[in-house]
Amino acid sequence: MGLFSKLTDSLSKTRKGFVEKIFDAFTGKEIDDDLYDELEELLIQGDVGVNTAVDLVERLREREKTDKLKYAEQLRDALVDEIAKIMGDEVATLDLSDDTLNIILMVGVNGVGKTTSIGKLAYLLKQQGHKVILGAGDTFRAAAAEQLKVWGDRVGCDVISHQEGADPAAVVFDAIAAAKSRKCDVLIVDTAGRLQNKSNLMNELSKMRKVIDREAPGCLKEVLLVLDATTGQNAISQAKIFGDATGVTGVILTKLDGTAKGGVVIGIRSEFDLPVKLIGTGEAIDNLEYFDAKAFGEALFAGEDSLKDKVEDAVDEIRAELADVIEDVQEDLETLQADITEEVQDTLEDLQDTLEEVQEKAEEAQEKVEEKVDEAKKRKKGFFGWGGRK
């Protein structure tokens, strides 16, 4: 299955729950304030965020005026356009350098998919030729390091870990040393998603950053905020909190496969300066992709036809119907022709029969006449022979 179809597949819930609802609202209606209200409501429900929903409706009201739109279906095409403008058309990349160690820090609240995404990212980078090592910076949760080791085994890369409850900054210190001595060019560090409170979490993250700045200056290339798409609006508020406090450079949006809330990508894109760099589309090792805005937009609206497509489809349908009618008429004509030919043939045959009969009758009559003539001749002969003239 190609990348595009895999993405299309994983966005099927969003398409059904969000895109189709919006497009249904546009069917067979006139453009009026009620339609705009309904659309705004649906966009908010689809988790694009209130500001983005309001912004999109504003853009559409403008488009209605400038493009002189009349029908709801035309507005729908304009919506697809405007969303594409928000999404842009670049394909995300990670900001990695060829000459230094590249450190990637994964942050985000518990359960969003940090550890899983590290495993998948390690696999992706290994495929691209990088030598990857992992640091188990989540020392808060008992099974966290074990979970990362399972991923390390699966991908085939080393994992540096300490005991549960150890200082994560010390893990980072050791992981940097190991990365250098083992000549790895990428170190991905896992972090805890849950601590006693938010300020503890933020302090711990900044302590880890300090160690990186001291031990490997300039090597922290990405701080990736992992957000769970299924949480919709929560993901957007987490982006606000983490983005301000931890110097986040980009977002990994996970679990897009299991949610109808894929519209959240549009919200993150339009409301923050944060690029969505990677998206998680399943639990398997290869279910992580660089975010391709255009492919995402196309996959989101895959199967949803524009007004132009609809007109073209209708014309095609009429053409096909006409062709059917012509074919039927042709068939009827052929049958008619065959019927007539058969009838003419029958009539000809009948005529022939009649002719033959007439002929027979004529022959019979002839024979009879001849017989009569013969008889008469004989009688005449007898008459003269019997006492006739001497």
Ligand X SMILES: Nc1nc2c(ncn2[C@@H]2O[C@H](COP(=O)(O)OP(=O)(O)OP(=O)(O)O)[C@@H](O)[C@H]2O)c(=O)[nH]1
Nearest to 279 by CA among 304, 302, 305, 300: 300
257, interface contact from ligand X, Mg ion, none, CB < 5-8 Å by kind? ligand X
Question: In sequence order, which ranges of 233-306 are alpha helices (DSSP H)?
Answer: 233-246, 264-271, 293-300
275, interface contact from Mg ion, ligand X, none, CB < 5-8 Å by kind? none
* Interface mask toward ligand X for 143-182; x: CB under 6 A: -x--------------------------------------
Contacts with Mg ion by CB under 5 A: the residue count is 2
Q: Is the dihedral of CA 97, 100, 101, 107 positive or negative?
A: negative
> What's the CA gap between 10 and 191, in Å, rounded?
27
259 binds ligand X (CB under 6 A): no
> What's the CA gap between 151 and 171, in Å, rounded?
18
- The beta-carbon contacts of 323-328 under 8 Å, at least 24 apart in sequence, are none
Tokens of 227: 């957000």
Whole-angstrom CA distances from 295 to 298, 299, 387 are 5, 6, 131
282 binds ligand X (CB under 6 A): yes
* Interface mask toward ligand X for 111-150; x: CB under 6 A: xxxxxx---------------------x--x--x------
282, interface contact from ligand X, Mg ion, none, CB < 5-8 Å by kind? ligand X
Which residues, 62 to 121, sit near ligand X by CB under 6 A?
108, 110-116
Stretch that binds ligand X, among 201-209, 277-285, 303-311, 351-359 (CB under 6 A): 277-285
Tokens of 271: 């409301």
Q: At closest approach, how far in Å is the CB of 63 from ligand X?
A: 35
CB crowding 216-226: b at 16 or more within 10 Å, else e: beebbbbbbbb
191 binds Mg ion (CB under 5 A): no
| CB of 134 or CB of 179, closer to Mg ion | 134
| CB of 185 or CB of 289, closer to ligand X | 289
115 binds Mg ion (CB under 5 A): yes
- What is the longest distance spanned by two Cα atoms in the chain? 171
Stretch that binds Mg ion, among 108-116, 199-207, 257-265, 292-300 (CB under 5 A): 108-116
280, interface contact from Mg ion, ligand X, none, CB < 5-8 Å by kind? ligand X
Q: Residue 271: what residue type?
A: E
161 binds Mg ion (CB under 5 A): no
Q: From the CB of residue 274, how many other CB atoms can be counted at a distance below 10 Å?
A: 18
| CB of 194 or CB of 361, closer to ligand X | 194
Beta bridge partners of 133: 187
Stretch that binds ligand X, among 163-171, 274-282, 350-358, 369-377 (CB under 6 A): 274-282
DSSP string covering 298-309, please? HHHTTT---HHH
Helix or strand or coil: residue 134?
Answer: strand
Q: Which of 227, 269, 287, 300 binds ligand X (CB under 6 A)?
A: 287
| CB of 53 or CB of 105, closer to ligand X | 105
Strand bridging mode 159-160 / 250-254:
unpaired
Whole-angstrom CA distances from 339 to 4, 329, 343, 349 are 57, 15, 6, 15
| CB of 74 or CB of 231, closer to ligand X | 231
Q: At closest approach, how far in Å is the CB of 176 from ligand X?
A: 21
Interface residues with Mg ion (CB under 5 A)?
Answer: 114-115
Interface residues with ligand X (CB under 6 A)?
Answer: 108, 110-116, 138, 141, 144, 193, 254-255, 257-258, 280-283, 287
